[in-house]
Amino acid sequence: MITLHLFLCALAVLWIYFLWSRRRIYKLMLELPGPIGYPIIGSTYEHVIQKKRQIRFRTKYFNKYGNTILTWIGPVPIVITRDPNFLKDVFATCHNKSVHMVKAITNCMGNGILSTQDPLWHEHRKNINPAFKLDLLVTFLPIFEAEANRVVSLLETYVDKGEKSVIRDMLRWSVRIAAQTTLGPDVKEEELFKNDTLVEKLNALISLTTLNLINPLAQKKIIVNLFGHEKQKTAHVAEVFKMVDNVSECKKNLNYIIKYLTCIVQVVEKRLNSKEESSGVESNILVNIAIDLYRKGVIKYNDIRSECGMMIAAGFDTSGLTAYHTLYTLAAHPQFQAKVFDELTEVFPNSADFQITYTDVQKLVYLDRAVKETLRLIPAIPITAREAATDLRLPNGVVIPKGVLIGTDIFHTHRNPEFWGPEADIFNPDNFLPENLQKRHSHAFVGFARGKRNCIGLKYAMLSIKFVLAKILRNYMVKTSFPFKDLVFVDNMTMKLVEYPRLEFLRRT
Ligand code: HEM
């Protein structure tokens, strides 16, 4: 009996300690408004299951509670913001992702720049930075040229054939450049590259990571077992089961992932065994930087693979989607496409297989604005999460305690009417005219994040995207019957749409 009493007392003490350790979070709950979460599953149920991860689900909460809200991912509190003032502090001071995010990425992709935390991340970033210097980027132009020409030839087969689905084609374009610029020319010999199935393998990897990220419940074996045998009990349970089914679906995809990683390993092996030392700018392509670090004992062998794999994963979906989204936004807004075309005909008077130089791309200022405006309304990464590195004070005085997870809602920041005006949801590349940018908050546009942990591939992405779009839009007029207002956005590591509009291509002269 005494043992039982002692046990209950110990439990009570532990419970009180647990509540005490979370006292600042409970205080925050009282100070910061937001939707109330269900016990254990938080708001996951409403967002993931009822609303099928639709991003617009958050809009009503921002409109109701203000620019910064508190909500729950399972039992974990998360402060989500669309306030550029607060984002400025977050991006300047918080360089670490949440532990949960790091676990999801490491589980699926291993160790690399996306998953490391400060101070290790800082070392990583310093080592990798040379792979993104301008002198190396310009050496990629022949790859950008060849792959852009390849897309144009493919689109030629769609001319005058009505609306076609081109999302896969654009993703194939970006994965091909990402693989070649990360791993070097050897990758072209690999089977997955030759048969153009890298996209499928990489998508399996991204799906698995996303699932790990958004469904903390689905990660737990105990939940899988608990719900595994009672499929239809309630609607909730059935839906949880669906998540679990998805997990097993992803497990099947592991086969795909292994193939993709094997492809990288083969390239790495060839390079390691090669007698020739890489020199000059070539020594700065990522695989060579990683091999060099491995030889010096800074990283492990498996880290070469994950570092390269992560870079391709981080670059291909974001760039491929943005190129596709821009084609769509311009198809849906022909008046702006006409302006892009005017600019292109000035720089490239002849259509067909004209060559593009770095200087040419610098002249395409209207196209630059159109891509950025597309990224504003359809950001390739709709939301990211950082961990508060110190106590952070919101503009209204509320203090976010150190360690709390902060969701930087890029999608809603970019459509925040307080900072973008009443026409925040309307496509208008002139939003990025220098004089308009000057009037706007420095962090009202954060498509590539900001601060030290911003997108390392920003210049690479903008250069390659403008390159391929210049080739396509100089050669074809793009049309669509899908209205812009009907797009439905879905939360994912990278932006997903419920329906990908189809595009029609008409030849230009
Ligand atoms: C339109 C294209 C792109 C967009 C919109 C984009 C956006 C972003 C954003 C928002 C982040 C911050 C993520 C976070 O805080 O969790 C990020 C990070 C990153 N991006 Fe990009 N990205 C693009 C293209 C690329 C490309 C082409 C590459 C590589 C070739 C790349 C490599 C990375 C890497 C490695 C990171 C992590 C940086 C770090 O943790 O230090 N991105 N990107």
pLDDT 10s digits, 104-153: 888 777 888 998 998 889 988 998 998 899 988 999 999 999 999 999 99
CB-count burial class (<10 Å; 0-12, 13-18, 19+) for 475: buried
Question: What ranges in 32-161 are assigned the alpha helix state H?
Answer: 44, 59-65, 84-93, 99-109, 120-128, 134-137, 141-156
Which string of b and e fits 248-287 if b means at least 16 CB within 10 Å? eebeebeebbebbbebbbbbbebbeeeeeebeeeeebbbb
Predicted confidence band at 178 (pLDDT cuts at 50, 70, 90)? very high
Flag whether pLDDT at 184 surpasses 50: yes
CA of 182, closest atom in ligand 1: 30
More confident residue, 253 or 386: 386
**Would the CB of 114 count as within 6 Å of ligand 1?**
yes
More confident residue, 429 or 44: 429
Q: Reduced to 3 DSSP states, what percent helix, strand and coil does the chain have, rounded to the nearest 5?
A: 60, 10, 30
Average pLDDT, the chain: 85
**Would the CB of 91 count as within 6 Å of ligand 1?**
no
For residue 39, the model assigns a pLDDT of 62
More confident residue, 58 or 226: 58
Q: How many whole angstroms from 345 Cα to the centroid of ligand 1?
A: 31
Q: Do residues 326 and 319 touch, judged by C-beta distance below 8 A?
A: no
Matching residue, tokens 């359809």? 378
Which amino acid, one-letter code, is at 434? Answer: P
Please compute the mean of the pLDDT values over residues 21-41 and round it to a whole number: 75
Please compute the mean of the pLDDT values over residues 446-451 and round it to a whole number: 97
Pocket test for ligand 1, best of 372, 450, 455, 495 (most atoms within 8 A of CB): 455
Question: What ranges in 157-195 are assigned the alpha helix state H?
Answer: 167-183, 191-194
More confident residue, 226 or 305: 305
Flag whether pLDDT at 448 surpasses 80: yes
For residue 106, the model assigns a pLDDT of 83
For residue 285, the model assigns a pLDDT of 87
- For the record, the structure tokens of 87 come out as 């984002």
Nearest CA, atom 39, ligand 1 = 453
- For the record, the structure tokens of 59 come out as 């809009």
Rounded Cα distance, 478 and 152, in Å: 13
The string of pLDDT tens digits covering residues 340-365 is 999 999 999 988 778 999 999 999 99
For residue 334, the model assigns a pLDDT of 98
Nearest CA, atom 20, ligand 1 = 455
- For the record, the structure tokens of 469 come out as 């779009």
The string of pLDDT tens digits covering residues 290-344 is 888 888 888 888 888 888 888 988 898 999 999 999 999 999 999 999 999 999 9
More confident residue, 289 or 473: 473
Span of 22-26, 41-45, 76-80 with lowest mean pLDDT = 41-45
Please compute the mean of the pLDDT values over residues 384-411 and round it to a whole number: 92
Rounded Cα distance, 310 and 21, in Å: 36
Predicted confidence band at 250 (pLDDT cuts at 50, 70, 90)? very low
Rounded Cα distance, 396 and 68, in Å: 10
CA of 125, closest atom in ligand 1: 41
Predicted confidence band at 408 (pLDDT cuts at 50, 70, 90)? very high
Matching residue, tokens 């097993």? 248
Predicted confidence band at 49 (pLDDT cuts at 50, 70, 90)? low
**Would the CB of 137 count as within 6 Å of ligand 1?**
no
Q: Which of 337, 329, 202 has its CA nearest to residue 260?
A: 202
Rounded Cα distance, 125 and 142, in Å: 26
Nearest CA, atom 1, ligand 1 = 319
Q: How many whole angstroms from 126 Cα to the centroid of ligand 1?
A: 15
Nearest CA, atom 19, ligand 1 = 455
Domain boundaries, the chain: 24-114+121-507
For residue 281, the model assigns a pLDDT of 60
Pocket test for ligand 1, best of 113, 318, 321, 368 (most atoms within 8 A of CB): 318
Share of the chain above pLDDT 90, in %: 51
Flag whether pLDDT at 235 surpasses 50: no
**Would the CB of 113 count as within 6 Å of ligand 1?**
yes
Predicted confidence band at 45 (pLDDT cuts at 50, 70, 90)? low
CATH number of 24-114+121-507: 1.10.630.10
Please compute the mean of the pLDDT values over residues 438-461 and round it to a whole number: 96
**Would the CB of 315 count as within 6 Å of ligand 1?**
yes
Rounded Cα distance, 38 and 26, in Å: 15
The string of pLDDT tens digits covering residues 428-441 is 999 999 999 999 99
